[in-house]
Each structure stands twice: as structure tokens, then as C-alpha cells.
A and B are shown apart, each in its own frame.
Chain A
Amino acid sequence: MNKQTFDQLNETLYYEQLDNGLDVYILPKAGFNKSFATFTTKYGSIDNHFIPLGKKDALKVPDGIAHFLEHKLFEDEDGDVFQLFSKQGASANAFTSFTRTAYLFSSTSSVEQNLKTLLDFVQKPYFTEESVEKEKGIIGQEIKMYDDNPDWRGYFGLISNLYEYHPVKIDIAGTIESINEVTKDLLYTCYETFYHPNNMLLFIVGNVDPEEMMKLVKENQAAKEFSKPEKIDRFFEAEPPEVDQASQEIAMNVKTGKCLVGFKDRSPDRQGEALLKHELSINILLEMMFGPSSENYETLYEEGLIDDTFSFDYSGELGFGFSVIGGDTSKPDELSDRIKSMVEEFVKRELHEETMESIRKKKIGYFLKSLNSPEYIANQFTRYQFNDMNLFDVIPTLESITIEDLNAAMAEHFKTDTQYSKCLVKPKGDS
């Protein structure tokens, strides 16, 4: 077993890659009652065009199928896996993102039993026509719940402005129509292709003995048979570097409007250190431009254009990357114009070393705070690993970023002529 220590943070990480290709990471945390494990496949909503395992021809699958599969894995011949976890005192859950599907449990007792349950249910698909049909009702309600949610609609509205072809623009759960096309056989096809241990990562964090945990995982995996690991071919249409659409308005049954503006990465091909540096740089820049301690924030707040829902975020993976800025506002048009011109002003000015230092400190403190959360560690570590980065490099990388790095990221990312778009949510009948 490999062992890596992070002295400054007082953490030790254990790692091994098993014979079947599964990556296993264990981070012991003394003092916590809770143990937490995530079992994640590198398969998300964007993986809708690929060559199925053992086949020659590429297949396009219905939107939302990765998420549908996530729901269905919780059912097996003997019933509902939630039940099994709760009998063992654990709570289980799962989520599907653009690029990952994660299954997880947290428990304060019977950690070993729960870990076995996690490995076993994810590695034992069981779908019937009947249960697939029933799930369509449940997921249909999940989709409708999001349809009534103005934040979600605004967010996906913006992404669909930014991208012309890339499947990141498709809602993770799909649509009522697309999930109707899901069948038992299609679910098996996706499962066989993407749930090979070689495409998965197990992360265990909590009050555990790493040696014992690793032994358990190895024995569990050795008792199962898997085909030889194969590289998965996924296809994405060529995406233009510029945004697809500069603006969109959505009328909804709301009282307060929303304004979201976004910037699309021109060349989202970074991985590893380059991606880590890029995303941290964009985050620092966003904080300098629009963080609560910035001049711009103060101005927008004083002008009554924003309230404390105003925020920003950057998402970057192989193939796509974008930042989102915005929040609730009674004047969506005015706010989007102001944000745009503030960005234009900002890129013209010189960056101050002092402001950068202050933001750097803030980011380091936030990172320490997030290490209190086993959920954060497990989820983020996996995301970083799938992009060839290491979560524990965040502080050293934050410390190494220079004004030049920021200038380079700024020049590429914050271009209002070609990379910018806005999505406004407005009260119905208000336009």
C-alpha cells in the first residue's frame, strides 16, 4: 500500500490500484464518529455517445440515462438497497454530474459491512422492464421539480447558450420524452461499458484502520470476476471555441428576476497541473472582480442591483469549462450590462499584488474549512483524480500562483466579445 503524508495539514493518504484496475484511496480521520465512502464511476450525463463494450459501432443513448441508471442500481432482486443500508445504521445516497456518477454511504458503525454493501450493490445490476417503467414516474417528478426551479432553469439556460453541441448543455436528468426511451437493455449496455472497476475510484474517509479496509476491499474484489480492462471510446462533436448564443430570456412564475452571465473557456483541453492552476486562477480572478470584499460588489450592492444571493463559480473538466456569475435581482438587464462592463474594465487594469495576497489567504482558509467535511474530501478528491490532479496540491498551487498566471488566465477567459453570454429569468408578463 502506498502512503503519502501531508505534514502541514496533518493528513495521511493511503493508496493502491487493484489488479482489476480499481483505484482505492483511504484517508483516516481520527476524532470523527463518521466514516464516509464514495464509489464513483467516470461516467456522467455528457457520456451519451460511445462504443459499447465488446461492440464496434458507436451508440447514441437517450438524454438522462446515466442518471436513470444511478436510480435503478439501488434496486436488486431482494429489494431496495436503501433498506439494507439503514438496517446497518447507514444512510446511502448517489448523485450524477456531468462527468461522474457517485454512490456513497455514511455511517458511524458497521463500517465494514456497509462498505461491502456499497461495493456489492454497485457491482450487481438488476433491472426489469417493470421496475424501469415505474422509475419513469419518479424521475418524471424529479424533472418537473427542477422545471419549476428558477435557479436550475437559469443555470441550464446559460450553459445551453454557451455550448452549441457539447452535451454539457443537456439537463442531467434528461427530459420526460428522453427518459421514456430508456429500456432495460440500454441500461445494461451503459452499465457494462462504464462500470468496469478500471473506470472507477473508491474513496474511504473517516475513523478507519487503512490496512483492514484495504484488505476488505481486496478480498471483496478478488471474489468477483471482471473482463479485461478496455479503454472506453467516447465521442464528442467538435465544439466551436466561441459561445453559441449571446443571450436568452426565460419567463417564469417568479416575483424576483435572476441574472446569470457566463464565460466559456476557449480551449478546455487542460488536465493535471495545468487545469488545477487554471481553475484556481479563474477563481482568484472572480473573487478579485466580484467577491464580497471587492469594489464592484460594494457598488452593485449599493445600487440595489444585487443582494446576498449574488455569487460566482467556475466549472472545468476535459472538454468544457465555464464560469457563472449572478443571482437574484429586480433589474436583470441592468445587472447583466453592469457585470459585462465591469469585467471589461477589470481586464484593462493592472492586478494588485496586495489584493491577490488577500484573496490567496481567503482561499487557503476556505480550503482548511472544507477539510472538516469528509463529504467534501471524498467528492472533490475523486473529481480531481479523474482530471489527473491531486486535491492536496491545492494549497501549494495556491501559494505558487503569480500575477503573470492570473494575467494569462484573464486574457483567455474573460473575453466579452466572443466568450460571454447571459441568461435572464424574468417574472411572467413582465418583459
Chain B
Amino acid sequence: MEAVNVNQFTEGPVCVHVIQSKTYKTNTLVLHIRAPLTKEDHTKRALLPLVMQSGSKDYPTRQKIRQSLDELYGASLTGDVNKKGENHLISFRLEVANERYLKDNTPLLEEAFKMMTSVVANPLVEDGGFKDSILTSEKRNLKQRIESVYDDKIRYANMRLNEEMCKDEPYGLFVYGNASELDEITPAALYDYYKKIMQEDVLDLYVVGDVEVDEIKKLVQAHLAFPERKDQTPSSAEKEKTRTIEENEIIEQQDLKQGKLHLGYRTNITYQDDEYFALQLFNGLFGGFSHSKLFINVREKASLAYYAASRVESHKGLLMVMSGIETSNYDKAVRIIREQMEAMKNGDFDDAQLEQTKAVLKNQLLETMDAPRGLVELMYHNELGEKKRELDEWIPGIEKVTKEDVVSVAEKVELDTIYFLKGTEDDSGE
């Protein structure tokens, strides 16, 4: 593995992480703005990055921003929201070509940096609020985005499972907010919220590419200077309380050809815990890969599905299974999935399978590190949890896991909710 050279420094409230690498032909900037996910703010928060990237003081329209990005050799700038555990992140990402591969020698990094910071730090303000017309179109945009989840049935089933399973927890909130709250948001209220997050939220900037640390320091000082904050501990998401779980089954029906079967488990393990790597291996053996129990038993042996997989949410400690099946096969599919979980709890896998899963996990991890965004994603885990793990601790961490470790993880995993979106189509005519 190529050594990854990381330099870290703070500039005002911004924690800057510079990852020096000659591998890429581009430079990548990622700014994460973090706060706890709350019912009160989540819709405003989802709307904010859309409004911010539609106009800034220096580039007052969406079109001006896009034209300037084109001029910077198609630099891409996106602003979006994400859910990590019970944190609601606003993230801006910018990727720009490294000018050494161009005939032109415009200082692209600096120009791109200015673009992004203009959007983040110098928003377009009129009469003490965001521009009304921008707000109107971005509300419409977000509303359509929220509604379109209904149209993508896999995403819809995921959202519904989250909603049902985490009814009384912030995690059950939808990342893009609630469409019915959009009308209430005024230009001034949203701008007040913007000012609040710039005062209070946790800011992490990542820069990946063939860059110098001093150069980045100068850019941050010149363009991303925020006032020092009063000494305060950043608010972080509440730690999960232990809860008693009762299995819950939710069945809905829509006019569909294929039923969507999604199961939510509580693993009771998060990134914070020492058992985190064992959890990754558990997931790999259970449903994470094409050699795992779900793929082999639901798809290959029973021929019930095209996909049957599981994934882990690292900071909330959930494990989600998803599969697309014939509606009439519901009982059979649920039975097979339950059996696979039982098999995991009984330690029904051998060392060869454990080794195979380690090999695939290591491969996946190294591949993630090949992409600038993947690298940032991995490193950001350390900011989300209180636990710090260096990149070079991951592989030894995976290596060390034993069969007993995986079984002890399996024993902690509890089924919480089965969500089934069933189709109406008569599927007897196969």
C-alpha cells in the first residue's frame, strides 16, 4: 500500500486535513459541516446547500457559478446533505484538474478554492435573507427530490424501513427533510439558520492531491477565514441507549411487479467499539459479498432474487438487508434469511470462509483508498466517532478477527423490523 501522507492543522474553527498524493490528475476539496440530526432543523438543513450553490456574493446566479466552473476546466462543485449515524452533514465537494496536465497554466486550485469558499462563506443576501426567487426554486427542487424517493422503490423501501424502525430516534428522520415543512421556511429564517451553523457546527476541510501544505494554509487563511469561536465543546449526537427490541413486521402494498423485502437489525456495535472490525466480517459473511450466505442461499440456491445483500451503518450500528422478490415468495424468503442469521449465530462457517471474507474486505478497503473521495470518507470516520483509528490500523484490525469474535458479534445482532413492500401483480404466470 502506498503511504498516505496526511497533515492536519486548524485555522479558526476549521480543521484542515491535507492528503498529499501524486496518484491523481485532479485535486479534490471536501468540506463537511456537521451537526446533530434534529426534527426541528432537518428540512432547513437539507435546503441550505441547494440555496447556497445557487448564488453567492461574487457569483449571484446559478448560471454564473456554472459558467465559472466550466472555465476552470469543468471543475465540479456539489453541495448536498448526508446522514452519518445521527449526524446531519452538509458537504461541499469540489474536484478540479491539476493544471500540470494542461497546456494552460491558470492556477486552477486557487481559483477553484475561491469558488467553493465564496459559496460557503459569502452567500448572496438581500434584505437580511437569502434571495427570494432562489429560495422558491430550490424549495421546488427539494420537494421533487423528496418525492422522487417514492419512485425509486429500493430507496423508498429503505426510507420506510428507517422510518418505522427508528420512529422515536433522530435516525428515523429522512435525510432530505419533510416536504410539508418547506412552505414555512422564509428567506430570513433560512439565513438565520445559516449564521447559526457557521457559528456552531463542526467544520472539517479535506484537500487531496499533489499539493503543498503551505499553499493550502495560505488559501484557507485568505479565503476561508471564520471568526474564532468562544470556547465550546462541539455538540455531538446522543449516544444510543440500550433498548428492548420487539420484532416488528410492516407490510405495504403498491402497484409493482417486484416486491421489496428489507430487514433491519440492531447490531449494538458501532465504529466506537473494539468489535467494529468483527462486525465488518460478520456482515461480509452474512450478506456483504457474492460469497456470503444471503447471495448463495437466496439467489444462487433458491433462485428467488437477483439481489440479496446486507450493509452496515457504522455510526448507528444498524444492519440492513435488502432483496427484490416475487410477492408470493415472501414467507420463503424471510425464512431463508432468518435461517442464515441463525447459521451465523451458530458459527456455521469455516476458517476458509473467514479468510476469504478478510481478503475481500482488505481488497475493498484498499480500493476505497484509491479514490480521493473514498480516502476522505474513511478518514472522516475518525471525526464522527470518539474513537481514532489511523488508516494503517484497519488492515491489521481485520486480520486479527477470529471466528469466536464473529460469533460473539452475531449473538448481539437482533432483528428489529421486517418491512415488505408487496406488489399487486398476479405473478402466477411465470
Do the two chains belong together in a single complex?
Answer: yes
Q: Which residues of A contact B (CB under 8 A)?
A: 8-10, 29-34, 80, 82-83, 86-92, 106-109, 134-142, 144-145, 147-150, 176, 253-256, 291-295, 297-298, 301-302, 304, 307-309, 328, 330, 358-359, 361-366, 368-369, 371-374, 428
B420, CB-defined interface residue at 8 Å? no
Contact, CB under 8 Å: B70 / A358: yes
Contact, CB under 8 Å: B366 / A34: yes
CB distance from A57 to the nearest CB of B (A): 33
Q: How does the 8 Å CB contact mask read for B1-35 relative to A, with 1 for contact and 0 for none? A: 11000000000000000000111111000000000
CB distance from A117 to the nearest CB of B (A): 14
Partner of A32, one of B23, B291, B356, B362: B23
Q: What CA separation (Å) do A255 and B356 show in the bound complex?
A: 43
Task: Enumerate chain A residues within 8 angstroms of B371, measured Cβ to Cβ.
Answer: 372-373
Partner of B101, one of A8, A80, A106, A366: A8
Contact, CB under 8 Å: B73 / A362: yes
Q: What CA separation (Å) do A256 and B141 show in the bound complex?
A: 12
> What is the chain A residue whose CB lies nearest that of B72?
A365
Contact, CB under 8 Å: B70 / A293: yes
Binds A, one of B61-69, B159-167, B399-407: B61-69
Given A91-B360, A298-B63, A365:B430 Cβ within 8 A = no
Binds A, one of B143-151, B180-188, B221-229, B235-243: B143-151
Partner of A150, one of B66, B74, B151, B369: B151
Task: Enumerate chain A residues within 8 angstroms of B387, measured Cβ to Cβ.
Answer: none
Interface positions of B from 41 to 79, Cβ below 8 Å from A: 61-63, 66-67, 69-76
B266, CB-defined interface residue at 8 Å? no
> What is the chain A residue whose CB lies nearest that of B25?
A368
Binds A, one of B81-89, B169-177, B272-280, B303-311: B303-311
Contact, CB under 8 Å: B366 / A293: no
Partner of A108, one of B95, B256, B291, B363: B363
CB distance from A341 to the nearest CB of B (A): 20
Partner of A10, one of B101, B133, B305: B101
Contact, CB under 8 Å: A363 / B256: no
Contact, CB under 8 Å: A148 / B372: no
Q: How does the 8 Å CB contact mask read for B260-300 relative to A, with 1 for contact and 0 for none? A: 00000000000000000000000000000111000110011
Given A33-B367, A134-B303, A307-B144, A358:B71 Cβ within 8 A = yes
Contact, CB under 8 Å: B363 / A90: yes
Contact, CB under 8 Å: A31 / B22: yes
CB distance from A250 to the nearest CB of B (A): 13
CB distance from B260 to the nearest CB of A (A): 9
Q: What CA separation (Å) do A147 and B305 show in the bound complex?
A: 14
Q: What CA separation (Å) do A365 and B153 show in the bound complex?
A: 35
Partner of B63, one of A295, A358, A369: A295
Task: Enumerate chain B residues within 8 angstroms of A82, measured Cβ to Cβ.
Answer: 290-291, 295
Contact, CB under 8 Å: B144 / A176: no
Other than A89-B359, A91-B360, A297-B63, give 11 A-B pairs with Cβ distance below 8 A.
A140-B430, A144-B324, A255-B151, A293-B67, A293-B70, A330-B144, A361-B104, A364-B97, A369-B97, A372-B24, A372-B371
Task: Enumerate chain A residues within 8 angstroms of B256, measured Cβ to Cβ.
Answer: 148, 253
> What is the chain A residue whose CB lies nearest that of B362?
A89
Partner of B299, one of A34, A138, A145, A374: A138
Q: How does the 8 Å CB contact mask read for B83-114 relative to A, with 1 for contact and 0 for none? A: 00000000000011110011110000000000
Task: Enumerate chain B residues within 8 angstroms of A359, measured Cβ to Cβ.
Answer: 70
Contact, CB under 8 Å: A256 / B370: no
Given A34-B370, A253-B254, A368-B26, A80:B359 Cβ within 8 A = no
18 contacts between A and B (CB under 8 A): A8-B101, A32-B2, A33-B2, A34-B370, A86-B356, A108-B367, A141-B258, A176-B430, A253-B256, A255-B148, A255-B151, A291-B70, A301-B62, A328-B151, A359-B70, A361-B71, A362-B70, A372-B24
Task: Enumerate chain B residues within 8 angstroms of A137, measured Cβ to Cβ.
Answer: 303-304
Task: Enumerate chain B residues within 8 angstroms of A142, measured Cβ to Cβ.
Answer: 306
> What is the chain B residue whose CB lies nearest that of A150?
B151
> What is the chain B residue whose CB lies nearest that of A301?
B137
B257, CB-defined interface residue at 8 Å? yes
Task: Enumerate chain B residues within 8 angstroms of A369, measured Cβ to Cβ.
Answer: 25-26, 74, 76, 95, 97
CB distance from B335 to the nearest CB of A (A): 17
Contact, CB under 8 Å: B21 / A31: yes
Contact, CB under 8 Å: B324 / A141: yes
> What is the chain A residue whose CB lies nearest that of B1?
A33
Partner of B74, one of A80, A87, A256, A365: A365
> What is the chain B residue whose CB lies nearest that of A295?
B63
B168, CB-defined interface residue at 8 Å? no
Partner of A307, one of B25, B95, B145, B254: B145
B201, CB-defined interface residue at 8 Å? no
Given A31-B21, A176-B430, A293-B66, A428:B73 Cβ within 8 A = no
Contact, CB under 8 Å: A302 / B137: yes
Number of interface residues of B (CB under 8 A): 77
CB distance from A400 to the nearest CB of B (A): 13
Contact, CB under 8 Å: A144 / B258: yes
Task: Enumerate chain A residues within 8 angstroms of B25, measured Cβ to Cβ.
Answer: 9, 368-369, 371-372
> What is the chain A residue whose CB lies nearest that of B256?
A148
Contact, CB under 8 Å: B324 / A145: yes
Task: Enumerate chain B residues within 8 angstroms of A91, measured Cβ to Cβ.
Answer: 289-290, 360, 363-364
> What is the chain B residue whose CB lies nearest that of A254?
B151
B326, CB-defined interface residue at 8 Å? yes
Q: What CA separation (Å) do A369 and B63 show in the bound complex?
A: 22
Task: Enumerate chain B residues within 8 angstroms of A149, measured Cβ to Cβ.
Answer: 152-153
Q: What CA separation (Å) do A80 and B24 show in the bound complex?
A: 35
Q: What CA separation (Å) do A139 and B299 show in the bound complex?
A: 10
Contact, CB under 8 Å: B150 / A255: yes
Task: Enumerate chain A residues within 8 angstroms of B140, measured Cβ to Cβ.
Answer: 304, 307
Contact, CB under 8 Å: B23 / A358: no
Task: Enumerate chain B residues within 8 angstroms of A33, measured Cβ to Cβ.
Answer: 1-2, 366-367, 369-370
Contact, CB under 8 Å: B148 / A364: no
Given A176-B430, A330-B144, A368-B101, A80:B300 Cβ within 8 A = yes
Partner of A139, one of B133, B306, B369: B306
Task: Enumerate chain A residues within 8 angstroms of B95, measured Cβ to Cβ.
Answer: 369
B255, CB-defined interface residue at 8 Å? yes
Q: What CA separation (Å) do A144 and B364 show in the bound complex?
A: 29
Partner of B62, one of A147, A254, A298, A328: A298
B205, CB-defined interface residue at 8 Å? no
Contact, CB under 8 Å: A138 / B66: no
Q: How does the 8 Å CB contact mask read for B111-155 relative to A, with 1 for contact and 0 for none? A: 000000000000000000000010001001100110110111100
B325, CB-defined interface residue at 8 Å? yes
Q: What CA separation (Å) do A33 and B395 show in the bound complex?
A: 14
CB distance from A20 to the nearest CB of B (A): 30
Q: What CA separation (Å) do A372 and B24 show in the bound complex?
A: 6
Contact, CB under 8 Å: A364 / B303: no
CB distance from A35 to the nearest CB of B (A): 10
CB distance from A134 to the nearest CB of B (A): 5
Contact, CB under 8 Å: B23 / A31: yes
Task: Enumerate chain A residues within 8 angstroms of B367, measured Cβ to Cβ.
Answer: 33-34, 106, 108
Given A108-B366, A109-B363, A298-B61, A255:B305 Cβ within 8 A = no
Nearest 8 A/B pairs, CB to CB: A365-B73, A31-B23, A365-B74, A137-B303, A362-B74, A89-B359, A293-B66, A108-B366
